[in-house]
Structure 1
Amino acid sequence: MTLALPSPDINAGARIPNGGPLMGLEQIANVFRRRHALILGIIAVVVGMTALIVFTQTPVYEAKATLRMDVPIAADGSDRVQQSAESEMQIETEIRALASHDLAAAMVRDLELLDNPAFSGRKMSKGRTARASQGRIDKAAEQLQSMVTIQRIAHTQLITVTVRSPHPKFAAMIANRYVHVRQMNSMVDRLQRQEGIVAALAKRTKRAGEELRQAEQAVADYRNEHRMLAGSDGTSDAGGINALTAEAVSAASARAAAAAKAAGVSAAAAIRPGPESATSPLLSAQQQRYADLMQRKAELSGFYGSGHPALANVLAQIDEVKRIMEAEQARVRQRAAADAAVQASHESTLARSDAQGAAAREAVLQSNLAALTSKAYRNNEAGVKLAELERAAETQRGLYVGLSGRLKQLGAALVSGTGLVLQSTAPIPQNPISPTPRKTLMAALLGSTVLAFGCAFVLELTDRKLRSAEQIWRLFGLDSYAMVPMLRSGVEKETAARLIADRPSSLFVESARMLLAEVMRQRRGGGGQVVLVTSPLPGDGKTSIAYSLGAAAIAAGSRAAVVELDLWQRAAAANDEGGAADRDGTIDLIGYLQGESRVRGLLTQASVSTQNALTIFAPHGQTRDPSMVISSTQLASLFEDLRARMDLIVIDAPPVLAVRDASNMACFADVTLLVVRWGHTTVEEAADSLVALRSPVDGVVLNAVDYPRHARGRYGDLVQYFNRAGAYYERDDELIQKGFLGKLRDMIRRPRAA
């Protein structure tokens, strides 16, 4: 027979047992309810230890002085612009010098720190620093370095000196004296070193100047010898030749232009306009008057006719004007001819003069060009040696200029120096920087809370224990018939019936009645109902559940019997070799199954005992082969007879994971129950038990449930309402296991009651 089971959720350990993912305020609150003792304990321990450390720690004060790098000033008083890389290098050098061991040792000696109780922790003693060995000074310097922090303020020339000490005045004194000690210890060495460098550099500069003078004199002598003026090299000679050639060509062009102009003037005189076109003001006035008279004549001729006196008068005027015009025109033409002859002669003379001047200039330029060309060839030959001398002089000049500039720079440094200045003094601190109780305790509270919840969530994530009906349904698809509460002293099979009879309104009895109702609801066919009760491992409480179920049936007026078939464990009662019943009223099951007791007599005795008590079939001894006993035909006959005489037969079967007898007994049962212990049985144990049974399981019973703790944990089933619905049950402190807070309240209340 193959058993089909729902696949267990392999991620069940990664969820809160109520099935929801680890997120949200509600889930966090549930985790706190379930793990509040752990969370509060971790917080209390961490905060308590932090408070102990804080309030027993010596306070530490911090004093901070600010230093500034001076801007270098030249000897002439002008600002000297430094390169950025050089400035950065100087600042880094100063920072390293301030943080060096040598400066710390100098601070110890100059300030006699070994004599100061605030530093040494010993009584005041004059001369202790002076008598200290070098090893003691070095240790004191290391101690001082551990107290001092040197830092640069980014993108500035400011450096901070921070001193931490339990003594505020001492911290301020060290921070303010750091720059003075640094300046005093470096000033003499720097001046001596710079003076030596300046002297050597001045000597070298003087020698370079003399060598430069000699090189320049050699260049001048060579030029004088070869009559080469400054700048008389091949390039300048070629430029002069080119210029003279261009001017000669220009003079030749000017000469040709002047000759052509002289010839053109003579030709122009022949084609100059004649005197007929000459005019004068008088001639122009008479021409205008003649035109007016002709117009007047035309008007009078058309109006009066040819014989009218007015017309005759106009004609006489016209004749007079013509005579005057002819005389004036002759005079003007004669004068114009004379002026044209004079102008042509003048222009021809000027053109011939320009041509002669251009020719003379061309001749001079050609002569100079020939001389300059000859000189250029001679300079070209001498220029090789001249270039060598000039290169030597230029090299000496560069060396001399560089040495002079360096000498000037060192001179400027000697005037002002490049060092540190105390920008702002360190005031005496009033409040310690450590410890800070409020901040530290708040940080400890926050950190411990995170740590505590982290531990709680880790426990929740790794928790594989079964705790709720919702979890069992989600993982295995099985109903939980009952959640039996945890009892203070546990439930034994002998006390189950008594508890049900004495505490009918208790939560334990109600869970037993609920289990009985669920079992009877599964009734199949006629006759008595056979229920198989088993568990994954010993100690899960299957026997107490079996007896509680039988006792609940008896209390409900039914006939019930419990058959203990866990034959691997020896019965508690003594072995009665020949009797059918022992002293506690149980019937010897082994004797019956081995044929030592008659069936009819056994059933008769059992039926009589069920009138007021639970009938129990238990082994009075230990059998060598329990498997043979279980597989015997007598066991099947027993259950057939019990079905006819009982309303409920409960089989107390062995644990599934211990032996396989429970799977062999499943054929006798109508209902199979798996008992798991709350918070003890794991998911893997329950899953392996379902597989090992090889037959369907009808329901699960959660045993030994801590109801108050379960209700606080909000595991997602009806038990979470226990605290609000507990008034419906009889308050029995012996039955309900109290939590830590409940026990603490009882301890507080007891002295008051006394």
Structure 2
Amino acid sequence: MNLTQLLLILWARKKVIIGTLLVVVLAALAVSLLLPKSYKASSTLLLNYKGVDPLTGVMMPGQLLPAYMATQLDIIGSKNVAIRVVERLQLANSPAVQAQFQEATGGVGSINSWLAGLLLRKLDVTPSRESSVVDVAFSGSEPQFVAAVANAFAEEYMRATVQLKVDPMRRASHYFDQQTKLLRDNVEQAQSRLSKYQQEHGIVSVDNRLDVESNRLNDLSAQLVAAQAQLMEASSRKSMASGSMAASPDVASNPVIQNLRLTLGGAEGKLAEAGQRLGRNHPQYLSAQAEVAKLRRELDEQIRLTSQSVGNNATVLSQREAQIREALAAQKAKVLELNRTRDEMNVLLRDVENAQRAFDVSSQRGSQTRIEGQAEQSDIAILNPAVVPTEPDGPKVFRNVLLSVFLGILLGFGLAFVLELLDRRVRSAGDLSDSLDIPLLGAIEWNKTSQRRTGALGSLLPRRPRLT
């Protein structure tokens, strides 16, 4: 079917199209005039996108997501908010509403839930493009009622957002209170274990005591090294004094022995001189000989005493070195015990610090959530409250008639095509050629206008077809 055939069909069925158009337009006009007037009131809300929590100062990434606006729209149109509106306006207290509820549901269910469903059907929530403004509109037959419902939805939405934010914080605050008590008990128990350990071991300050004992250990180590060196030297001198007392440096350096040796040398000189001058039995010779013998005995005794004192000194140094060694071993054990005590005490100190840190964090977080649970501040603001409409919002007669024109034309075209399919006629040479599938040789044009003008006389004359 080409465009020419389509236009021929529409022209042939023009009465049907025009009739359908008139019927649809008249029906739309009648319905628009008979429908009751509808009023619409809108309340505008502003959703603040600050992005920062006023209490904690922390960025709130949830409000930066694209789904935030859609979530708020769902909250406005939720049944929870609608039930709040029903309770706020006390719609269920009306006897007429209760009678309608009984008639519609037979008393099954909640009247508040039923009314909330009716309100949501006439609620229209529209967000503004590229802004944080939301328009809450409600339609109805009474101007005062629609304005009250629109404002009630806006206010109850604000309260619902506050409750949705505060209720989790209050539950979290209760949880943190319990955790804070438990952590406080843990801190007290850890501190008690630490105090008991300090009392049992007599610890006042582990670090200072350890420093003193470590210094003492270092001193004993130095004393031991010095004592060992002195003992080695004394042992060498004892060995020399025991083997050859006269060759011992301690004996040779003794001033008493040196004086005795000088005195002995002088006495021997006198004895030799007396031996040359006097006889061996001379009293002077015997006196000189006795003097020399006495000095030699004194020298030998002094050498023996000096050698013995060197041995005694070595013995004393050996005993002192042993004592220092024992003190050093005891000091090492004491320092090791202090290190072990310090390690055990450090474990207890870390337990106290960890318990204290957990308690501080829990207490701080609990205080913060407690403040957040008490802060009934909303991020939503009513930009423009709904006012009582003075003019009806519907029905829109001009719009309905305009739409009915387009609908009537479409229905007329559709009806014309349906009738054409039920009663297909030849309306052009192309239709005849397509129907019979034979070539078209010519066409006779019939002029109905000329036939009407001739009247009865023309009907008696033979028809003159025109061959083209």
* TM-score, normalization by structure 2: 0.52
1:177 paired residue number: 152
Gaps (5+ residues) in structure 2? 100-106, 211-334, 449-454
* Secondary structure in 2 matching 1:32: helix
Whether the aligned pair in 1 keeps the contact of 2:53 and 2:59 (CA below 8 Å) is no
Q: CA deviation at 1:45?
A: 1.9
2:452 is the alignment partner of 1:477? no
- Which of 444, 453, 459 is equivalent to 1:503? 459
Gaps (5+ residues) in structure 1? 1-14, 16-20, 123-131, 233-374, 488-498, 519-717, 719-754
Q: Partners in 2 of 1:96 and 1:183 — Cα distance?
A: 13
Q: Partners in 2 of 1:477 and 1:142 — Cα distance?
A: 68
2:27 paired residue number: 49
Distance change (3 Å), C-alpha of 1:172 and 1:476: same
Whether the aligned pair in 1 keeps the contact of 2:169 and 2:369 (CA below 8 Å) is no
Letter in 2 for 1:201: F
Letter in 1 for 2:121: S
Letter in 2 for 1:476: D
Distance change (3 Å), C-alpha of 1:111 and 1:476: closer
Distance change (3 Å), C-alpha of 1:453 and 1:437: same
1:348 paired residue number: none
Letter in 2 for 1:409: T
Q: Partners in 1 of 2:443 and 2:69 — Cα distance?
A: 81
2:122 is the alignment partner of 1:147? yes
Whether the aligned pair in 1 keeps the contact of 2:176 and 2:362 (CA below 8 Å) is no
1:659 paired residue number: none
Q: Partners in 2 of 1:156 and 1:379 — Cα distance?
A: 68
2:289 paired residue number: none
Q: CA deviation at 1:418?
A: 4.2
1:167 paired residue number: 142
Distance change (3 Å), C-alpha of 1:63 and 1:227: same
Q: Partners in 1 of 2:131 and 2:31 — Cα distance?
A: 39
Q: Partners in 1 of 2:348 and 2:128 — Cα distance?
A: 55
Q: CA deviation at 1:64?
A: 1.3
1:39 paired residue number: 17
Root-mean-square deviation (CA, aligned residues, Å) is 5.5
Q: CA deviation at 1:65?
A: 0.9
- Which of 370, 373, 377 is equivalent to 1:410? 370
Per-residue CA deviations over 1:342-365 (Å, capped at 9, x if unaligned) read xxxxxxxxxxxxxxxxxxxxxxxx
* Secondary structure in 1 matching 2:37: coil
Q: CA deviation at 1:91?
A: 7.2
Whether the aligned pair in 1 keeps the contact of 2:39 and 2:393 (CA below 8 Å) is yes
2:385 is the alignment partner of 1:425? yes
1:65 paired residue number: 43
Letter in 1 for 2:144: K
* Secondary structure in 2 matching 1:170: helix
Whether the aligned pair in 1 keeps the contact of 2:158 and 2:378 (CA below 8 Å) is no
* Secondary structure in 2 matching 1:510: coil
Letter in 2 for 1:412: E
Distance change (3 Å), C-alpha of 1:60 and 1:218: same
1:667 paired residue number: none
Q: Partners in 2 of 1:113 and 1:159 — Cα distance?
A: 25
Letter in 2 for 1:394: N
* TM-score, normalization by structure 1: 0.34
Q: Partners in 1 of 2:431 and 2:163 — Cα distance?
A: 85
Per-residue CA deviations over 1:12-71 (Å, capped at 9, x if unaligned) read xxx1xxxxx2x4xx6654343222112212212222221121111122222111234577
* Secondary structure in 2 matching 1:50: helix
Q: CA deviation at 1:401?
A: 0.8
2:314 paired residue number: none
Distance change (3 Å), C-alpha of 1:459 and 1:86: same
Q: Which has the higher helix share?
A: 2
Question: In the TM superposition, what are the counterparts of 1:87-166 in structure 2 within 5 Å?
Answer: 98-113=76-91, 135-150=110-125, 158-166=133-141
Q: CA deviation at 1:163?
A: 0.8
Q: Partners in 1 of 2:127 and 2:355 — Cα distance?
A: 43
2:361 is the alignment partner of 1:401? yes
Q: Partners in 2 of 1:409 and 1:88 — Cα distance?
A: 27
1:643 paired residue number: none
1:601 paired residue number: none
Letter in 2 for 1:510: R
Letter in 1 for 2:88: D
2:231 paired residue number: none
- Equivalent pairs counted in the alignment come to 328
Question: In the TM superposition, what are the counterparts of 1:653-668 in structure 2 within 5 Å?
Answer: none
* Secondary structure in 2 matching 1:472: helix
Whether the aligned pair in 2 keeps the contact of 1:219 and 1:390 (CA below 8 Å) is no
Distance change (3 Å), C-alpha of 1:93 and 1:384: farther
Q: Partners in 2 of 1:63 and 1:420 — Cα distance?
A: 19
Whether the aligned pair in 2 keeps the contact of 1:161 and 1:175 (CA below 8 Å) is yes
Letter in 2 for 1:164: S
Q: Partners in 1 of 2:431 and 2:77 — Cα distance?
A: 65
Q: CA deviation at 1:471?
A: 3.8
Distance change (3 Å), C-alpha of 1:27 and 1:207: same
Distance change (3 Å), C-alpha of 1:35 and 1:411: same
Higher RCO structure (Cα 8 Å, ≥6 apart) = 2
1:490 paired residue number: none
Whether the aligned pair in 2 keeps the contact of 1:65 and 1:425 (CA below 8 Å) is yes
Q: Partners in 1 of 2:167 and 2:429 — Cα distance?
A: 92
